[in-house]
Amino acid sequence: MDITFIMRYFWMITLTFSMFEANVQCQTNDRRAFPDGFLLGAASASYQVEGAWNVNGKGESHWDFITHNQSERISDRSNGDIACDSFNKYKEDVQWIKSIGLDHYRFSLSWTRILPSGFNDTTNPNGIRYYRDLLEELKVINVTTVVTLYHRDHPQALENLGGWRNERMVQWFEDYAKVVFDNLGHLVDIFIPINEINALCADELNDTYKPRGNGLDDMGEYACIHNGLKAHAKVWHLYDKNYRATQGGMIGFVSSSRGWVPSEGVTEESIDRYFQFRCGIVMHPIFIGDYPEILKTRIGNISNLENLPESRLPEFTDEWKNIIKGATDFLGLNHYTSRLPIFDTSEKLGVPTSDSGIIEAVDPNWSTASSQWLTIVPEGIGNVLRKIRDEYDNPALYIFENGFSDTGETEDYARIKYHYDYASEVLKATVRDGCNVKAYTVWSLLDNFEWYYGYTQRFGILKVDFDSPNRTRSEKLSTQWLREVIRTRTLIEPPAPSGTRSGSCEFIHEETEKLVEKL
């Protein structure tokens, strides 16, 4: 036999076995299994998707008022009057949820669809019926129902009275929650009283979508957070005392967060202060019983420099500390992006420019989504999860928002890559580092109205044609990818754009197939 042929054959066999071994290793790396019981789902919010802003007895919300009377604040001067028309298309949305195979669906209720005036003097049976119908449809397909009582769209009538800056909002919110628990609680698996009160108060009252005036945090922001924490705690105790035994659900606290990564000027001290001002301001009262000491000290000192009679950060009484501490079944986390927290050097001159004294820098090498604030830094979410593990004794944690914006592409490779990278970090933190993460939720199920950005930014895994009267839904590439991830319960490597390779593993798969054909 020709020795050259034998050598060539031996070389091909050896290389093929090597490629097979590499191929198996790639499959192990690229298909990371989710833990048993881990939930994979998607989310939406009432004003952003429902539409039907003034039908069937619904009252005017704060966001109805903003978009109708202050449209210059919205990037494209749009509104949520129709949005995704989910009020009329909820059955279709449920079928999409079934098609994708979501474990859970998070959505919110419109306060004014249930209590048109904002008060509990008159309930709207049409609004209650709508949400009951939606929840019953979700129960039919065996989806875990996650319901947010309040996601930014409070009644305009209450905003006229000061909104979340008014302490009476605590009682008004509890009254609203009781109506919901009485009428819908038996259909809800997980309740979230208020969505990310820290982001709500900063965005709405300090208008952080635009440059701030003097750079110092506003008194209204802290009053808003203070009242929001009280309202959350009262509603948690209401459910715990009167409804948990018969309805069997959970009710938890949800906070927004931003992460961080190592860099020049980023220190353990700057990271901790950044975390406390961003997250600790709401997490500390829930898990520890009061605001972080660094907040009380700095805001108190700066308030004194401003010649104010008292700190802009309110104080909790001992009674309220006891009510708020422990008032949650879990910690919910919304996370999108990270920053480089660096101490403001101007403070060395004794001139504070913010209550935190932290500058949120951005690495110019970071990629961004179509939302310029959304820098893509996957490692940041893992750092947040580990910080929460260590700071608050590793609470059960549900990631209830994580998402990527583009301009509506159907072949949304970048969105898949974002979710793959972020979910990979979540799995590392969970499996390797022992963080007690129970769920990962994609924001959002549908392209929708994105607050001050209107329809200029699209986060959905389902495309919505806003030029169509029917608001037609259609699949994106991310729809198909998430469906397969959920079906296999593994985190699958992102597909590559046409004409490119996603990485060495794809190359190995292709070359292995070629060698097999030759043999």
Q: Is residue 22 included in any domain, yes or no?
A: no
What is the tens place of the pLDDT at every residue in 157-187? 999 999 999 999 999 999 999 999 999 999 9
What is the pLDDT averaged over residues 18-47? 74
Q: Is residue 501 included in any domain, yes or no?
A: no
Q: Is residue 179 included in any domain, yes or no?
A: yes
How many helices and strands, by DSSP H and E, does the chain display? 19, 14
Q: Supply φ then ψ for residue 456, to 5 degrees.
A: -80, -15
pLDDT above 90 as % of the chain: 85
Q: Is residue 268 included in any domain, yes or no?
A: yes
pTM above 0.85, yes or no: yes
pLDDT above 70 as % of the chain: 88
| pLDDT tier at 205, thresholds 50, 70, 90 | low
- Give the distance, in angstroms, between the CA of residue 268 and the centroid of all CA atoms in the same chain: 26
Comparing C-alpha atoms, which of 463, 514, 397 is closest to residue 38? Answer: 397
Of 36-45, 343-352, 367-376, 455-464, give the lowest mean pLDDT range.
343-352
Whether the CB-CB separation of 279 and 356 falls below 8 Å is answered with no
For residue 397, the number of C-alpha atoms closer than 13 Å in the C-beta half-sphere is: 31
What is the pLDDT averaged over residues 104-125? 98
Q: Is residue 506 included in any domain, yes or no?
A: no
Q: Range of 123's domain?
A: 34-488
Q: Is residue 510 included in any domain, yes or no?
A: no
Q: Which two tokens stand for residue 121?
A: 């003097």
The Cα–Cα gap between 129 and 173 comes to: 20
Q: Is residue 23 included in any domain, yes or no?
A: no
Q: Looking at residue 513, what is its pLDDT?
A: 53
* Positions marked active-site: 196, 401
What is the tens place of the pLDDT at every residue in 88-98? 999 999 999 99
The total number of structural domains in the chain stands at 1
Q: Looking at residue 350, what is its pLDDT?
A: 81
Relative to beta strand 39-43, strand 104-108 is parallel
Residue 144: CATH number of its domain: 3.20.20.80
Q: Is residue 207 included in any domain, yes or no?
A: yes
The Cα–Cα gap between 90 and 196 comes to: 25
